[in-house]
Amino acid sequence: MKKDKKVKISKIKAQYLTKKFELLPVKNSGNKVKSLIGVNDKNQTDFWALRNISFTVYEGECVGIIGLNGAGKSTLSNIISGQIAQTTGQVEINGDVSIIAANAGMENNLSGRENIRLKALMVGMTNKEIKAKMDDIIEFSELGPFIDQPVKTYSSGMKAKLGFSIMVHQDTDIMIIDEGLSVGDKTFVDKSKAKMFEFRDKGKTILLVSHDMRTTKEWCDKVIWLNYGEVKAYGTAEEVIPEYEQFAKWFKKLSKKEQDQYKNTQRQAQLDYSVDVLKNDIISQNNTRSRQMGKVLTVGLNNSKDNHKLSLLSKCFVALASITFIWIMLVSLSDVTVSDSIKSPFDFVTNHLFKAKPVTKNQGRGKKSNSNQSSMTNKKKASSSHSKKKSSTESSKENKAVTDSTYSIQDGDSLSSIADNKGISVESIQALNPDIDFNLIYPGQVIKIPASTDSSTAKDNEGVGQ
Ligand SMILES: Nc1ncnc2c1ncn2[C@@H]1O[C@H](COP(=O)(O)OP(=O)(O)OP(=O)(O)O)[C@@H](O)[C@H]1O
């Protein structure tokens, strides 16, 4: 009796799988701002690496996955091994899965031995089991003393050997080999093939992702041919491989321009794809069961939210924070305070933007100097109720450069105005500066100032440099 007369046990069942990746937008400042506040045009960046994939793999089968570069082979094997999630659809796995991929799965800073331990723990092996198998794994890997070196120092062939050795000793029901052996040397590949045949004969299920048609023919009962994210054919190796080879021959014969044209058309279809297209495909594929299909789709779609995209609330928050930040920046480039700018935004924008705040040496030094800082409102009042002369005297006050006991004469100063401003008598200034003729004082001339009894004036002078 032939084996295939038995009831077949499904090990992998994929239904209506899709995988959408978000392509990074072309780098320019406009796109950066858009992506910051999450308003990128969605359809321009969605790329459907897998479109409506359905197939079943049964116990004991070895199934090859073939296709041109970028067809979606690794994406599919990563979904099956649980490393990434599908966008829509379902994948039912009946058993444990292990995967060996040319570039995946190793912790580069750990040694080979530590990686063996880590991987074994990840598939649920106990410490005792790991200890029992460690020597066999190391021997199978042929890495000798290099097993205790960090994996980052390994060649790609050495990594493949380590990965394959770990996998064959994990003894899982389903094994996925994604180009894992393409970089190994011939003796190791032959040894590995023998091991794989052994597994297949034991009834394990194997998925082989490969560009090598000879190995695929030799190993696999069935083959899935992926083309730009779609299943182009799924059948026996005898049927599908010649079809694929014919296609590859046809493609090679095309001129460079025709090849590019073909690729661009296919890639555009991957960009234009959507869940609506998928739904229509499913309905047209199977009208009678469309309701059930809708349910399967919904299950997948519930998990297919673009998590990295901002919610509406977050977008509002980011926008508000950005506006606040920009506003504060503008206020810092004006001569008013934030609260004044909010009270009269129009006046702020038209009259105060890019006007530097008046800088006084007394700024920020206690009550008096703070109260001297002109707010927009105070300024308005001042300009309407004070004479020009008074304003200029005030500004002269603000610009005084004095110390505790000295004062530098400003343009327009007179003995009496200095005495008035300081709240001290003319006589006391004269007494302290007997050598100075106050009828002939000039800007920049330094005179001595007696200590004042007026606390505010004293504060004015406190600690100010010459
Ligand atoms: N993280 C990602 N973000 C965006 N696009 C991706 C991502 N991963 C894969 N892709 C794209 O998905 C498509 C399928 O990639 P995948 O690696 O599955 O192809 P493949 O058939 O394994 O290719 P190869 O034979 O070259 O290994 C490619 O166009 C690839 O650029």
CATH number at residue 45: 3.40.50.300
Domain edge (last residue) among 302, 319, 351 = 302
Which residues have CB under 6 Å of ligand 1?
21, 23, 47, 49, 67, 69-75
Number of structural domains in the chain: 2
| Residues 294 and 442 both lie in one domain | no
What is the residue with the minimal CA distance to atom 6 of ligand 1?
A: 21
Question: Collapsing DSSP states into helix, strand and coil, what is residue 250?
Answer: helix
- Count of H helices and E strands in the chain? 21, 11
CB atoms within 10 A of CB 423: 14
Instruction: Flag whether 267 is in a domain.
Output: yes
- What are the structure tokens assigned to 199, written together? 């597994």
CA of 305 to the centre of ligand 1 (A): 20
| Residues 87 and 214 both lie in one domain | yes
What is the residue with the minimal CA distance to atom 11 of ligand 1?
A: 49
Beta bridge partners of 15: 90
CA of 376 to the centre of ligand 1 (A): 60
- Can you give the CATH number for the domain in which 445 is found? 3.10.350.10
Query: Identity (one letter) of the amino acid at 400?
Result: K
| Residues 226 and 79 both lie in one domain | yes
Instruction: Flag whether 449 is in a domain.
Output: yes
Question: Collapsing DSSP states into helix, strand and coil, what is residue 227?
Answer: strand
Instruction: Flag whether 344 is in a domain.
Output: no
What is the residue with the minimal CA distance to atom 4 of ligand 1?
A: 21
- What are the structure tokens assigned to 114, written together? 């530590």
Instruction: Flag whether 153 is in a domain.
Output: no
Q: Which atom of ligand 1 is nearest to the CA of 78?
A: 18
pLDDT digits (tens), the chain, 466 positions:
445 556 789 999 999 999 999 887 766 666 666 656 555 555 458 899 999 999 999 998 999 999 999 999 999 999 998 889 999 999 999 998 888 876 556 888 999 999 999 888 877 788 898 999 999 999 999 999 999 999 999 988 888 888 888 888 887 889 998 876 666 778 888 888 888 888 888 889 999 999 989 889 988 999 999 999 999 999 999 999 999 999 999 999 999 999 999 999 999 999 999 998 998 888 877 765 555 665 656 555 544 444 444 556 667 777 888 888 888 888 877 777 888 888 888 787 777 777 665 544 444 443 333 333 333 434 444 343 343 444 444 444 444 444 557 888 888 888 888 888 888 888 888 888 888 888 888 888 888 888 764 444 433 433 333 3
Domain edge (last residue) among 282, 302, 322 = 302
| Residues 82 and 229 both lie in one domain | yes
d(CA 38, CA 55): 36
Residue range of the domain that includes 212: 8-95+206-302
Strands across the sheet containing 205-209: 97-101, 174-178, 205-209, 62-66, 222-227, 230-236
| Residues 88 and 219 both lie in one domain | yes
Instruction: Flag whether 184 is in a domain.
Output: no
Instruction: Flag whether 140 is in a domain.
Output: no
Instruction: Flag whether 322 is in a domain.
Output: no
d(CA 149, CA 114): 10
Q: Where are the beta strands (DSSP E) in 353-464?
A: 406-408, 446-448
- The answer to whether residues 450 and 429 touch, using CB atoms and an 8 Å cutoff, is yes
CA of 46 to the centre of ligand 1 (A): 13
Instruction: Choose which residue among 65, 75, 306 to substitute to test ligand 1 binding: the one with the highest number of ligand atoms within 8 A of its C-beta.
Output: 75
Domain edge (last residue) among 302, 330, 356 = 302
| Residues 428 and 295 both lie in one domain | no
What is the residue with the minimal CA distance to atom 30 of ligand 1?
A: 70
| Residues 291 and 411 both lie in one domain | no
Instruction: Flag whether 172 is in a domain.
Output: no
Q: Which atom of ligand 1 is nearest to the CA of 179?
A: 27
| Residues 291 and 410 both lie in one domain | no
- The answer to whether residues 67 and 225 touch, using CB atoms and an 8 Å cutoff, is yes
| Residues 273 and 415 both lie in one domain | no
For position 329, what pLDDT does the model report? 81
Task: Tell the residue number behind the tokens 């099956």, with chain if given.
Answer: 80
